[in-house]
Amino acid sequence: MAVSVAKVDDFVPHPVKDQLPGVDFCVSSSPPWAEAVLLGFQHYLVMLGTTVIIASVLVPFMGGGNVEKAQVINTILFVSAINTLLQTCLGTRLPVVIGGSYAFIVPSISIALSTRFNVFLDPHQRFKQTMRAVQGALIIASFFQMLVGFFGFWRIFARFLSPLSAVPLVVLTGLGLYALGFPQLARCVEIGLPALIVLIILSQYLPHVLKCKRLILNRHAVLLSVIIVWAYAEVLTAAGAYDKRPPNTQISCRTDRAGLISAAPWIRVPYPLQWGQPSFNAGDVFSMMAACFVSIIESTGTFIAASRYGSATPVPPSVLSRGIGWEGVGVLLDGLFGTGNGSTASVENAGLLGLTRVGSRRVVQISAAFMFFFSVLGGILKISFNFF
């Protein structure tokens, strides 16, 4: 009797493994609902910091003020929620948060600084025209990323990747975040440095000293750090520590000078083409395609890292390619909604998986629910701000 031999390729599923050491909850498991909600909110806080930084960098170059900045932040949160759900349900199905990418900042700024927008004297009109140009470039560039992913071109390259080769991808991405994010600390050292110290103490030092079995400090270190440092900053503001400081210091350090809370609308649902009909320019498209390629590389490293922190089996090349394809769909949504920026798998949130030792897909999907909630109901931010 002839015995048929199955062809071995990357579509054959990997053998099931036991849960890896150092992981408390894997991709398919979930902590209790109360803890899952807190962990999901913590993921939301981590990606919110990236979102605010990206919008704060881009919108002034486009000609927008606090109102436009708040609208862009709401739009990025709304689209990130959609992209996160698409990636966790249809893409790689790994616990990854899809958020704004620093790789798209340079092309977006180059578009904003183009001389063809100098004819618009009204800042708001300049902002809308610049945003439409960015939208057009993102829409066309997204098809390049979908082509690379859905047609399997990235699968060919991913065959040569291993967990070891993903390390430099993640490290380079982290260094890129450091170059953009860490200088923000210098704008207000008296708050930024204590925040960094508190996070290190709560996540790395106290758990070993107290030997807490429930790992409360490990899992909620970011959330606790934000609460402690925000209360500390509020005390400094109320005590008048910044009353006689320069305006730039007051904007960076005071809790009542950001301008985003007052500018955020109470209820606003982002919708496609909210800034108007996109415009298209060949030079803008090629610069965005280059950013898409960078996003593909950094997302691949993040996918591999997230699979390890989620105790998943090694990611097959076909799954990596499919995830890149759905990320291209995310970039298309960025262009349609007008976020001013493209999407990528968030390496910060992948790091949070390792810190909390919870690689649950459900937790990440709960964070997407928080993105939806706060992007639509901006009035909740006003109420919480007034409360504090």
Count other C-beta atoms under 10 Å from residue 109's C-beta.
Answer: 15
pLDDT single digits (tens) 145-166: 999 999 989 998 888 776 666 6
The pLDDT confidence band at residue 178, using thresholds 50, 70 and 90, is low
What is the band of 256 on the pLDDT scale with cuts at 50, 70, 90? low
Residue 173 has pLDDT above 70, yes or no: no
**Which pTM was predicted?**
0.85
3 state DSSP class of 98: strand
**DSSP assignment of 191-233, as one string?**
HHHHHHHHHHIIIIIHHHHHT-TT-HHHHTHHHHHHHHHHHHH
Q: HSE-up of 55 (CA within 13 Å, CB side)?
A: 24
Out of 78-82, 104-108, 161-165, pick the least confident. Answer: 161-165
**In the 3-class helix/strand/coil scheme, how is 238-286 assigned residue by residue?**
HCCCCCCCCHHHHHHHCCCCCCHHHHCCCCCCCCCCCCCCCCCCHHHHH
Amino acid present at 165: S
pLDDT band for position 292 (cuts 50, 70, 90): very high
Given a cut of 70, is residue 18 above it in pLDDT? no
Summary mean pLDDT of the chain: 82
By mean pLDDT, which of 1-10, 131-140, 227-236 is the weakest? Answer: 1-10
Q: Where are the domains of the chain?
A: 33-182+260-387
Q: What is the pLDDT of residue 385?
A: 41
Confidence of residue 194 (pLDDT cuts 50, 70, 90): confident
Mean pLDDT is lowest, of 16-20, 131-135, 208-212, 261-265, for 16-20
With H, G, I as helix, E, B as strand and everything else as coil, classify residue 358: strand
**Do 381 and 374 touch, CB atoms closer than 8 A?**
yes
3-state secondary structure of 132: helix
Q: Are 335 and 136 in contact (CB under 8 A)?
A: yes
Distance CA 303, CA 250 (A): 39
Asked if the model's pLDDT at residue 122 lies above 60, the reply is yes
Give the tens place of pLDDT for each residue, 301-335. 889 889 888 887 788 899 999 999 999 999 999 99
What pLDDT was estimated at residue 188? Answer: 77
